[in-house]
Amino acid sequence: IRDVLGSRGLGDVYKRQDQNITNMNQHHRCLICLGSNHNGVAHLKSAEQELEKISSGIHWGNAVETAAEDTASSGSYLNRAALMNTTLSKEKLIEEFKKIESRHGRTATGKQQGIVPLDIDLLTYDDEIVKPADLKKSYVQQALQSVVQ
């Protein structure tokens, strides 16, 4: 994450984005990243609307098209990161992400075949880095750039 943040830490990013997120009391701050390699615009737009419902504030970065990385797919992905504020626990938030992915047609079989209609990753939860390996991936770094500016 330092690649994107430079010398700034997560706390600096969160402070800078506070003005874009309302109702910050007792809420958890998260970095998330969405991705799709199948009808990406539609899946991301629909997922963003669903995520708005479980968020008490969200700051979206720009959508970026990236090459497939560490997957069976050879096509490109549409990715978008966000700084999200929520009252949900980490476990409940991940559970909600899985439900949203499932509603968009994500299956284990599809993933094995390289078909990912929707992937939602919880990268950080408050000061905890939930997926350190994902934070180093180039597609995540690209998606995060417009969130942390």
What are 41-80's pLDDT values in tens digits?
A: 999 999 999 999 999 899 999 999 998 877 666 679 999 9
The 8-class DSSP code of residue 7 comes to T
Mean pLDDT of 27-42: 94
Say whether pLDDT at 4 is over 90. no
Cα–Cα distance, 5 to 85 (Å, whole number):
19
57 φψ region: left (φ > 0), alpha (ψ -120 to 50), beta (else): left
Query: What pLDDT is attached to residue 69?
Result: 77
Within the chain, strands assigned E span: 28-36, 57-60, 64-67, 76-86, 119-125, 128-129
Query: Burial of 138 by CB count in 10 Å (0-12 exposed, 13-18 middle, 19+ buried)?
Result: exposed
pLDDT bracket for residue 21 (50, 70, 90): very low
Cα–Cα distance, 78 to 92 (Å, whole number):
25
Query: What pLDDT is attached to residue 20?
Result: 44
